[in-house]
Structure 1
Amino acid sequence: MPINQPTTSLENNNQDIVISLESPKIVPQQEESSPESNPRQVRSLVDIYETCNLAILEPGSFEEAANQEVWVKAMEEEIKMIEKNNTWELVDFPHGKDIIGVKWVYKTKLNPDGTIQKHKARLVAKGYSQQPGVDYNETFAPVARLDTIRALIALAAHKGWNIHQLDVKSAFLNGILEEEIYVEQPPGFVRKGHEGKVLRLTKALYGLKQAPRAWYSKIDQYFTDHGFRRSKSEPTLYIKTQGQHTLLLSLYVDDLIYTGTNTNMMMEFKEDMMKTFEMTDLGLMSYFLGI
């Protein structure tokens, strides 16, 4: 079955960044339908294991998680990250203000071969109770298109560049809030002697309507301050040039891939990112959004 090779183009000028990838044209062949000519689709091991883990490895409630040491440690790590980031402050109950509830969400992260990478507990605000114009204003945040990511990967492969991957820990906790938001103390971590108090948020929490927007504003400002230009046609694609060297990156919420012409330039970028944000260096990209 002939398949046309994808083509990529990169325009590096002061106007914009353009990465384009033509869709492969597949010329179908006429075949008689039979079990041999129409086999079942094959799923990757990681997809199969993720489905199984929903029932086997991930607790459905805080009460269930509280009885398993691995999930207790995961919750403690999340609270430690939140408090280290100065996300909230304990205050007296504010009369006349809405108090947003919170809940725990549990996820088992897997390696490409289906083995367990880590257990993650996420404290999430019940954002569905927020009132527009009162608890939040803007909510929109751009997300990288898969076509853009595929184009970046194709370009790197064509040029022989390595692609590296970073994961921002608790990314939304970095977003600065403009609104006055209060949440209840998290299950399992209510401070003794202060049961009647609540938490005032100074930074965003997962689940809040404005959390994605706050995080994007924060990371976009970081990239701009460090010499990157944002594409006008793809707001999650950034480019930085230093003389003859180029660094390209694409951001998908809290996952980031980057590539370029110069190893030292890429190393400096990674080191500065890891000083500014809590991050996990995933090394060379091997598995990203199912690609």
Structure 2
Amino acid sequence: MQDELLQFKLQKVWTLVDLPYGKRAIGTKWVYRNKKDKRGIVIKNKARLVAQGYTQEEGIDYDEVFDPVARIEAIRLFLAYALFKDFVVYQMDMKSAFLYGKIEEEVYVCQPLGFEDPKFPNRVYKVENALYGQHQAPRACLIYVDDIIFGSTKKELCTEFEKLMHKKFQMSSMGELTFFLGLQASQKDDGIFTSQD
């Protein structure tokens, strides 16, 4: 939980303010998850603070939403193309991806329970960057990341891209693609083999 709040501070996600007259603050909650490796062994316990986006009202707390979702068909098509072009697929992980996107709407959230500021317990946070759970978070993140150019097949340009990503975001290189969104992948000379539990 402390790591998550540290990310909020590093990314300047919010600012502690008095709630302006006529505005309302939406709640927050903690979501806990166990991250597992490809064998199903728990490798990390994760806590994520999310906005209770279901209490947001269209036209008041958000205007336009767009939720990019990776469909399994698109992933399979990408892997088939990589195999056809004889590419090796590598994977990177962006830490707290949504926290990078800027939001334009004026949104306030309550302080998380147990983590209230002792000097200002009645204040709320004005949200500057997208927060998991907000309706506009996926769109804000996509717009921010979309400014970075993707797509090179030359190894040295891929290395430059990785350096750029590390400079802009907190990234970790995970090596060759083996486990992605519940899909297990094995890259061999004669093909890419996938399976899913």
- Shared fold per TM-score greater than 0.5: yes
2:54, 2:74 → 1: CA distance?
31
Structure 2 match to 1:4: none
Q: Does 1:212 align with 2:104?
A: no
1:221, 1:170 → 2: CA distance?
18
Q: Does 1:203 align with 2:95?
A: no
Structure 1 match to 2:163: 271
Q: Does 1:221 align with 2:166?
A: no
Amino acid at match of 1:115: I
Amino acid at match of 1:279: M
- For structure 1, the residue ranges without an aligned partner over 5 or more in a row are 1-74, 229-238, 240-246, 248-259
1:122-137 → structure 2 map (5 Å cutoff): 122-137=48-63
Structure 1 match to 2:191: none
Q: Does 1:78 align with 2:9?
A: no
Q: Does 1:103 align with 2:25?
A: no
Structure 2 match to 1:87: 13
2:134, 2:62 → 1: CA distance?
8
Larger of the two Rg values belongs to structure: 1
Structure 2 match to 1:144: 70
Amino acid at match of 1:100: I
Structure 2 match to 1:161: 87
Look up the SS of the partner of 1:181 in the other structure. Answer: strand
Amino acid at match of 2:24: D
1:11-22 → structure 2 map (5 Å cutoff): none
- For structure 2, the residue ranges without an aligned partner over 5 or more in a row are 184-197
1:153, 1:263 → 2: CA distance?
18
How many pairs are equivalent?
Answer: 183
With the length of structure 2 as denominator, give the TM-score of the two structures.
0.88
Q: Does 1:288 align with 2:180?
A: yes
Aligned mate of 1:186, from 112, 115, 124: 112
1:272, 1:152 → 2: CA distance?
23
Structure 2 match to 1:176: 102
Amino acid at match of 2:25: I
How big is each residue's C-alpha offset from its partner over 1:229-281, in whole Å with a ceiling of 9 and x where there is no partner? xxxxxxxxxx4xxxxxxx2xxxxxxxxxxxx3x21111111111111011221
1:225-244 → structure 2 map (5 Å cutoff): 228=150, 239=151
Aligned-pair identity in percent equals 44
Amino acid at match of 1:111: D
Deviation at 1:182, TM superposition (A): 0.5
Deviation at 1:283, TM superposition (A): 1.2
1:263, 1:188 → 2: CA distance?
48
Q: Pairwise CA RMSD of aligned residues?
A: 1.3
Amino acid at match of 1:198: V
Amino acid at match of 2:113: P
- Of structures 1 and 2, the one with the larger relative CO (CA 8 A, separation 6+) is 2
With the length of structure 1 as denominator, give the TM-score of the two structures.
0.60
